[in-house]
Amino acid sequence: MLLNITTTHYPATDLGYLLHKHPDRFQSVSLAVGKVHIFYPECTEEKATVSILLDIDSVDMVKKAKVKGNEGFALGHYVNDRPYVVSSIMSVALSKAFSSAMNGKCKDKPELIDQKLPIEVEIPTLPAPAGGETLIRNLFEPLGYDVEVERHQLDEKFKEWGDSKYYSVVLKNMVTVKDLLSHLYVLIPALDNDKHYFVSEDEVEKLLKRGEGWLHAHPKKDNITRRYLLNLKSLTREAFSRINEEEGNAESEDEEVNAELKKKKETLHQKRLNLVVEKLLETPAARILDLGCGEGKLIKLLMKHNQFSEIHGMDVSYRELIKAKQNLHFDELAPRLQEKLNLFQGSLTYRDQRLAGFDAAAVVEVIEHMDLNRLKAFERVLFEFAKPNVVVLTTPNKEYNAMFEGMSDDAMRHDDHRFEWTREEFKNWVEKIAENYAYSFEIFPVGDEEVNVGAPSQMVVFKNGN
């Protein structure tokens, strides 16, 4: 909403020339969703401050967001922080209001263009939801800014709600105005991982242009690029979000640790999938069912083997299936491969004729996403009615959680996990299934085993008949 730029350069009134904005006038520039006002609360030869004030039309903004293909605007978004913070809209405003300055033009005093000035930037509300103070510092300090940060609580009446994602930030530096504006233009949206409204398609080029001369040397350049562009993801949400009461998942502020954990999980998943394929190849199975196929990672691996004549992927999430279809380039596949592959929506808690008669079913990291009291339905659907000859099933080993640093005892590896089993609990369940439905079984660890806690994940291979 508000961003103040102050300089103590002498004469400070030069700021007016640099920005092409007369210090004694109240000036407004139209934006897509309101206006930006530019005015000077202070302007003497010793010190000048320019205020950039966003005057966002919230009603209009909501309407435009809807038009932009986001029909499923959840209620929360109508009460929106955008008008009160400094976000990507501020970047757009800066480039609109100060286009000459940003492009390094100054008609009246060209000598000022490359001159570094003592600058202080004050941003009362800067959102940094995933990254917090560390990220703010990591982004600005390498560029020479002296950074002061103060975080605000959510509601003084409800202290137990904790802090908000908003920071009051003061940045001090000796910097040219052109660089200053470029830094702000790129780094503000990079900090805010909320949806980025009203962006145009040439955003990549804009980033390259504004980052010219400094971004390539910035130690966090990858991070900045990724975040800046990530936030451009379209606002499309599906019908799902309207009925899915989101419970919200606060992301860890320590992004670095998160990223590493994520990477670890990725490699583990790859290992797991390879093992599933290996186990399936050890059987004569030709017609395979991938239950909970997600975006089709396992299917991709299975497609490489001629042994598997048919691969049927089922998932309860239609969006995942669309992703899978894209990832597998379904529409471009040769007709014979296309015939081999079948993706469909289904649910593991409903009896389903389509699941009958398969040689093998893979159920990879699926059951832990079901409530324990619904597991019984799944067992009957798979083992009593679908009855594949072979079932390869994996689920996390809870004991291994001790190896993940910073994970509390009762925490689970994923927000949506309803339970995680120890090796003992898993074995008990497997034995019960084997007995009730006349399957034989073998249990395998997935990933490297550690003393006392076992492997990160566990697998069972069931075979029909004792």
Minimum distance of other proteins from residue 114's CB (angstroms): 29
222 to 261: interface string for other proteins, x by CB under 8 A? ----------------xxx-xxxxxxx-------------
Closer by beta carbon to other proteins, 49 or else 176 = 49
Among candidates 381, 329, 333, 316, which has minimal Cα distance to 353?
381
Q: Which residue type occupies 116? A: K
Minimum distance of other proteins from residue 345's CB (angstroms): 6
Region 408-437 residues binding other proteins, contact defined as CB under 8 A: 416
Closer by beta carbon to other proteins, 245 or else 405 = 245
Among 262, 376, 414, 432, binds other proteins (CB under 8 A): 376
Among candidates 419, 404, 410, 416, which has minimal Cα distance to 268?
404
67 binds other proteins (CB under 8 A): no
Region 178-217 residues binding other proteins, contact defined as CB under 8 A: none
Closer by beta carbon to other proteins, 353 or else 452 = 353
Per rule CB under 8 A, count of chain residues that contact other proteins: 78
Among 9, 21, 165, 340, binds other proteins (CB under 8 A): 165
* CA dist., res. 6 & res. 47, Å (int): 7
* Alpha helix segments (H runs only) across 54-126: 58-67, 88-97, 99-102
154 binds other proteins (CB under 8 A): yes
Closer by beta carbon to other proteins, 214 or else 330 = 330
Dihedral, CA atoms, 429, 433, 439, 444, nearest 10 degrees? -20
Minimum distance of other proteins from residue 429's CB (angstroms): 16
73 binds other proteins (CB under 8 A): yes
Which helix H or strand E contains 462, and what residues bound it?
strand 457-464
As beta bridge partners, residue 3 has: 52
Closer by beta carbon to other proteins, 242 or else 329 = 242
Among 32, 47, 84, 450, binds other proteins (CB under 8 A): 84
Q: Which residue has the tokens 């909320």?
A: 194
In a 3-state reduction of DSSP, which class is residue 48? strand
Closer by beta carbon to other proteins, 376 or else 432 = 376
Q: Are 299 and 274 in contact (CB under 8 A)?
A: no
Among 6, 7, 80, 457, binds other proteins (CB under 8 A): 80
* CA dist., res. 374 & res. 459, Å (int): 20
Stretch that binds other proteins, among 12-20, 80-88, 264-272, 393-401 (CB under 8 A): 80-88
Closer by beta carbon to other proteins, 1 or else 459 = 1
As beta bridge partners, residue 27 has: 38
Among 1, 199, 268, 361, binds other proteins (CB under 8 A): 1
Q: Are 205 and 242 in contact (CB under 8 A)?
A: no
Minimum distance of other proteins from residue 378's CB (angstroms): 10
Among 234, 309, 345, 436, binds other proteins (CB under 8 A): 345
Closer by beta carbon to other proteins, 337 or else 377 = 377
Q: Within 10 Å of residue 442's Cβ, how many Cβ atoms?
A: 11
Among 100, 115, 134, 168, binds other proteins (CB under 8 A): 168
Closer by beta carbon to other proteins, 62 or else 302 = 62
Two structure tokens written together for 70: 């986001």
Closer by beta carbon to other proteins, 124 or else 189 = 124
Two structure tokens written together for 234: 């379209």
Region 265-324 residues binding other proteins, contact defined as CB under 8 A: 316-318
> From the centroid of its chain, how far is CA 309?
36
326 binds other proteins (CB under 8 A): no
* CA dist., res. 283 & res. 277, Å (int): 10
Q: Are 154 and 164 in contact (CB under 8 A)?
A: yes
For the range 138-143, what are the long-range contacts, defined as Cβ-Cβ under 8 Å and sequence gap of 24 or more?
Answer: 138/219, 138/220, 138/223, 139/187, 139/190, 139/191, 139/220, 139/224, 140/171, 140/183, 140/187, 142/218, 142/219, 142/220, 143/173, 143/175, 143/183, 143/214, 143/218
**Given strand 360-364, what is the order of strands in its sheet?**
341-345, 310-315, 287-291, 360-364, 390-396, 457-464, 439-446
Region 92-131 residues binding other proteins, contact defined as CB under 8 A: 124-125, 127
Region 385-404 residues binding other proteins, contact defined as CB under 8 A: 385
Residue 405 DSSP label? T
444 to 463: interface string for other proteins, x by CB under 8 A? --------------------
Among candidates 251, 1, 2, 5, which has minimal Cα distance to 128?
251
Minimum distance of other proteins from residue 386's CB (angstroms): 11
Minimum distance of other proteins from residue 137's CB (angstroms): 20
Q: Are 321 and 315 in contact (CB under 8 A)?
A: yes
